[in-house]
Structure 1
Amino acid sequence: MRNWRSTTAVLAVIPLLATACDAEAQGEGGDLSADLTGAGATFPNPLFQDWQYEYAFEQPGVHINYQSIGSGGGIEQFLQDTVDFGSSERYLDDDELDAARDQRGCDPIQFPVIFGSVVPAVDNPDLEGLVLDAATLAAIFDREITSYDDEAIAELNPDMDLPDQEIVPVHRSDGSGTTYVFTNYLSHEVEEWDEEYGAHTEIDWAEGTVGGQGNEGVAGGVLQNEGGFGYLNQSYIQEEDDLYPVSVINADGNAIEPTLEATTAASDEAEIPEDYRFDINDVGGEGFPIAGTNWIFAYECGYDDDTAEALRDYWTWATQTEEADELAVELGYAPMGPELKERVAGEIERINVEDE
């Protein structure tokens, strides 16, 4: 298992350095040339960095700078027209779509690229294999449940020796699609949570919780606070040896570990409409119930020819090639299925279509 923390800084720099090299240093390359800027979700950042690095061998003249600032920041920068593409774990709502049209003078485009799970995690090896449900998760972050040996947790874990230890809930402090996926699940499953907090990228959290910037900050908050308990993207969990994922009971009453197979099973249950605005709820079978999607935002107009061609080529490579899928699976993400890939390929072709 790779230690993601020790490689983060390197991976963040490599794409920029590698794409600055000439085609001869990287092998055969394409003939595109553009500087692409994007910003948004931390959820796909480990994968995006790997994608950017590998794509540079295909098109060394295309330089991609993706800033992992959170889904809220990605939506804001996209709507302010300061980036070529935005990224979020929450789709654009009606007001945001209208704002995008007003800003650019043409229709925005949003399409999914990858699926992943949002995983509750603890820092205590004695709690490895802990099982929770939506009600206990909501109660932990609402501070109704404050100790690991609480009766409600004990009922779900009859064979586990639960410690008399305070739970320190750690959440995202920035505008976050990961928070949206997590709170959408809680809102869908727990009426009291929906009434008090709802599903948003930013939440007015209960007193006694701890905030962390990005998935990295949440992981740090869990590890630095005895009794830490947080929610993170699946890839961050699998790259950190000191975090222990929690199994969650799904709609069929099955306690599901957050494996790649369980994420894929959840994504298979998603009903995806023509406008690509959807949530993954009521996951049963072998699916992990807290699953989400990453969307990319672009426009039908306003790019110069080189930028538009590079955007289409990069996202086609990322969503349609076996190489990109293999990188996703390695990091714990679930690629799209064949039918959805075909639909998304058509959306990518809409980029800058009005100016051509």
Structure 2
Amino acid sequence: MKLLARLAVAGALLASSAAPAYAEPITGAGSSFAFPIIGKWAQSYRVAKSDGAEMTPLDIGVDYEPIGSLGGEVRVTQRAADFGTSDRPLSSEELQRSALIQFPIVMGGIVPVVNLDGVGPGQIRFTGALLADIYLGKIKLWSDPAIKAANPELKLPDAPISVIYRADGSGTSFNWTDYLAKASPEWRGKIGVNTQVAWPVGKGAERSQGVTDAVKRTKNAIGYVEFGQVVRAGLAYAQVQNKAGVFVKPDPASFTAAAASAEWAQAKDFGLMLTDAPGADAYPIVATTFALVPKPRTRRTQDVLDFFRLSFESGAADATALGYVPLPGTLVKQVKDYWAAGMKTDS
């Protein structure tokens, strides 16, 4: 059964002209990584736009489907949605070809999760090379000497590792495979980086919730999921060794440390990856969710930009509470300037 999440929020926001009487929600689709924060922002937007009214029509607002980054890219490119979200930055050539703008909306961590007896959150440790070898099928048992060497204090079972991966076109997978490719030349040469790859071993699950559920019900499993969803599900997450050789616990502070190295002003169309960031405190698998909005500026695209504008201005605390890193003020200004430069009015 496919998951369809409908988020009803208040409708059009225009400061300069009166809104026409229409009751069609703006539509969005894509990242399940960012679905929790988009859902929260949608609720806040509804409250803000109700302006104290006792009732707001439910058919006016935002209709968002967390179908995965690839699905979001396809929907907005085909103009089957008013905006898409993706955890993969599109190239400037792709954006130009599809007449889209792209901007970051939130950042967060992707963490390895395990289902092992006696192993709690933050207790097991992995290097990037270990994770690559597990997902390559080269390390098959939890009792492998390489895993024991990184975890001498843990009692790990002499049992096969059950590998779980995202089966759908996923920006989470894009960032995961990008990190594995940076940690392992063999991974880069044999598997590569993409939203979907030919996984050598394991079983696939649809969307973030599917991976979460598969790991929870599978003894001796390993998977990868967005940090906030992991915490809310009560899964045991791992520390991961970063570029400085430090095993780092995933949390908003270590994600912020990784994000601090990003030179957004130098990146055309904000096309940056944050995996394997420098710094002793930086968590190495940090992803950015990007919004994709069609050009030119129309009534509906203006509604989309107004939704994200309000979210940036009043939703940073919500992002932090859910385990994400909100955009810093300087980056929000860059995004707004980018809107002004890239979105001409459809006259």
Q: In which range does the TM-score fall when normalised by the shorter chain? A: 0.7 to 0.9
Q: Which residue of 2 is the match for residue 132 of structure 1?
A: 126
Distance 1:178 1:31, change over 3 A: farther
Q: Which residue of 2 is the match for residue 234 of structure 1?
A: 227
In 1: Cα distance, 2:294 partner to 2:245 partner: 42
**Structure 2: unaligned runs, 5 residues or longer:** 12-16, 51-55
- Matching of residues 48-87 of structure 1 within 5 Å: 48-60=38-50, 62-87=60-85
In 2: Cα distance, 1:56 partner to 1:44 partner: 18
In 2: Cα distance, 1:220 partner to 1:338 partner: 36
Q: Aligned match of 1:216 in 201, 209, 214?
A: 209
Are the aligned partners of 2:294 and 2:301 in contact in 1 as well (CA < 8 Å)? no
In 2: Cα distance, 1:53 partner to 1:351 partner: 28
Q: Which residue of 1 is the match for residue 186 of structure 2?
A: 192
Alignment partner of 1:326 is 2:320: no
Are the aligned partners of 2:33 and 2:208 in contact in 1 as well (CA < 8 Å)? yes
Partner deviation per Cα, 1:126-157 (whole Å, 9 max, x = no partner): 22310001100001111111111111011111
Q: Which is richer in helix?
A: 1
1:294 match: secondary structure: strand
Instruction: State the AA in 1 paired with 2:203.
Output: V
In 1: Cα distance, 2:109 partner to 2:204 partner: 20
Alignment partner of 1:249 is 2:241: yes
In 1: Cα distance, 2:213 partner to 2:342 partner: 38
2:89 match: secondary structure: coil
Q: Which residue of 1 is the match for residue 14 of structure 2?
A: none
Partner deviation per Cα, 1:57-112 (whole Å, 9 max, x = no partner): 122475100110000000111111111111000011355324303xxxxxx21000
Instruction: Report the alpha carbon displacement of residue 348 of structure 1 after superposing the two structures with TM.
Output: 3.3
- Matching of residues 88-107 of structure 1 within 5 Å: 88-94=86-92, 96-101=94-99
Instruction: Report the alpha carbon displacement of residue 351 of structure 1 after superposing the two structures with TM.
Output: 6.7
Distance 1:42 1:31, change over 3 A: farther
In 2: Cα distance, 1:214 partner to 1:330 partner: 22
- Matching of residues 309-320 of structure 1 within 5 Å: 309-319=302-312
Q: Aligned match of 1:277 in 249, 265, 271?
A: 271
1:275 match: secondary structure: helix
Q: Which residue of 2 is the match for residue 290 of structure 1?
A: 285
Aligned residue-pair number: 324
Q: Which residue of 2 is the match for residue 6 of structure 1?
A: none
Are the aligned partners of 2:106 and 2:288 in contact in 1 as well (CA < 8 Å)? yes
Q: Which residue of 2 is the match for residue 5 of structure 1?
A: none
Are the aligned partners of 1:210 and 1:221 in contact in 2 as well (CA < 8 Å)? no
Instruction: Report the alpha carbon displacement of residue 263 of structure 1 after superposing the two structures with TM.
Output: 0.8
Instruction: State the AA in 2 paired with 1:159.
Output: E
In 1: Cα distance, 2:156 partner to 2:117 partner: 11
In 2: Cα distance, 1:268 partner to 1:255 partner: 18
TM-score w.r.t. length of structure 2: 0.88
TM-score w.r.t. length of structure 1: 0.86
Bigger CA drift: 52-61 or 164-173? 52-61
Instruction: Report the alpha carbon displacement of residue 338 of structure 1 after superposing the two structures with TM.
Output: 1.8
Q: Which residue of 2 is the match for residue 104 of structure 1?
A: none
1:83 match: secondary structure: coil
Point out 4+ residue stretches in structure 1 off by more than 3 angstroms. Answer: 30-34, 348-352
Percent identical pairs in the alignment equals 28
In 2: Cα distance, 1:42 partner to 1:281 partner: 19
In 2: Cα distance, 1:338 partner to 1:293 partner: 16
- Matching of residues 149-164 of structure 1 within 5 Å: 149-164=143-158
